[in-house]
Amino acid sequence: MSNNKRTVYVNGDYVPEDEAKVSVFDRGFLFADAVYEVTSVIDGKFLDFDAHTARLERSLNELDMPMPMTRDELLDAHRQLIEMNNVQEGCVYIQVTRGVADRDFIFPEGIAQTVIMFTQAKKLTGEKKGLRVISTPDIRWGRRDIKTVQLLAASIGKTAAKKQGKDDTWLVKEGTVTEGSSNNTYIVTKDGKIVTRHLSNTILPGITRAAVLKLAAEQGLEIEERPFTIEEAKDATEAFMTAATSFVTPVIEIDGTQMSGGIPGPISLRLNEIYIEEGKKTSI
């Protein structure tokens, strides 16, 4: 698996990554006026493709932007990209900006959107190692339900974790965990309930979250959608997170407190297995 010299998609063309060009006046660059999606690939097929497409459309609509292409055109471009780049396992990113216009805060009208897509080859189905997380303040804006490219706050948090020799950060706002830097967060209580924050504009409605909660319910697990604190999390029997690019990932340490004996918890591991199993059955 190599990401060397990929072919990327730019506004309808498939070009070598080092020849791909976007204007310096692109609003994605000047204002973070852009949204994105990322869909995972296993065995050359996409997991939850339609749910990711629906969320892309919602993110765009919330910012008064249309879908740049139909669902079928999007799927075709995704398929062409993994074919050209020989990606059997990994993910495809799509970034859609409002387009190119002279610098001005007011949304310009009548301009063409910029659409880019690229692949990342990545092993997703291997053995799951548990991650160590630290909590950091959630300093992001108030519309975290829109998947914008404003990822600086998440980047700051994750870099802080890395500097402390840890793997990721859980973001805390007004005393409770919102989500991870790029994932939704969960704990398993002593009586076996899965607790995860309810949907609102404080978190991204994870596509993996929706799929995993449905599978967990089918397994007879009880789910409570509500905020929880870091203290409650430390006291839980297990913790995990979900994202399209990492599925279900066990958490084995929170702010220095060991979780599930310092090894991935059984419910987290089982949910990861089931998600991959079911994902493969319904991938396209």
Active-site amino acid positions: 147
Minimum CB separation of residue 214 from ligand PMP in Å reads 13
Please report whether residue 216 would count as binding ligand PMP according to CB under 6 A: no
- The DSSP code sequence of the chain is ---TT-EEEETTEEEEGGG----TTBHHHHH--EEEEEEEEETTEESSHHHHHHHHHHHHHHTT---SS-HHHHHHHHHHHHHHTT-SSEEEEEEEE--B-SS-SSPPSS-PPEEEEEEEE---SSPPPPEEEEEEE----S-TTS-BS--HHHHHHHHHHHHTT-SEEEEEETTEEEEESSSEEEEE-TTS-EEEPPPSTTS---HHHHHHHHHHHHTT--EEES---HHHHHTSSEEEEEETTTEEEEEEEETTEE-GGGS--HHHHHHHHHHHHHHHHH--
Of residues 96 and 243, the one with the C-beta less far from ligand PMP: 243
Q: Does 243 contact ligand PMP by CB under 6 A?
A: yes
- Site membership for ligand PMP, residue 179 (CB under 6 A): yes
Per-residue binding string, ligand PMP, 26-65, x by CB under 6 A, is ------------x---------------------------
Contact call for residue 183 and ligand PMP (CB under 6 A) = yes
Q: How many residues bind ligand PMP (CB under 6 A)?
A: 13
Cα 254 to Cα 134: distance, rounded to the nearest angstrom: 6
For the CB of residue 56, give the shortest distance to ligand PMP in the complex, in Å.
11
116 DSSP β-pair partners: 10, 95
Q: Applying CB under 6 A, does 94 fall inside the site for ligand PMP?
A: no
Considering beta carbons, is residue 101 or 134 the nearer one to ligand PMP?
134
Q: Is 90 in the site for ligand PMP (CB under 6 A)?
A: no
Q: Is 249 in the site for ligand PMP (CB under 6 A)?
A: no
Nearer residue to ligand PMP within complex by CB, 68 or 206: 206
The minimum distance between CB 111 and ligand PMP, in angstroms, equals 27
Residue 172 Cβ vs ligand PMP, minimum distance, rounded to whole Å: 14
Nearer to ligand PMP, 9 or 247 (CB): 247
User: Which residues does residue 36 pair with via DSSP β-bridges, in sequence order?
Assistant: 95
Region 184-213 residues binding ligand PMP, contact defined as CB under 6 A:
184, 204, 206-209
Compare residues 6 and 52 and give the one whose CB is closer to ligand PMP: 52
Least separation, in Å, of the C-beta of 92 and ligand PMP? Answer: 12
What residues contact 220, with CB distance under 8 A and at least 6 apart? Answer: none
Binding site for ligand PMP (CB under 6 A): 38, 179, 182-184, 204, 206-209, 242-244
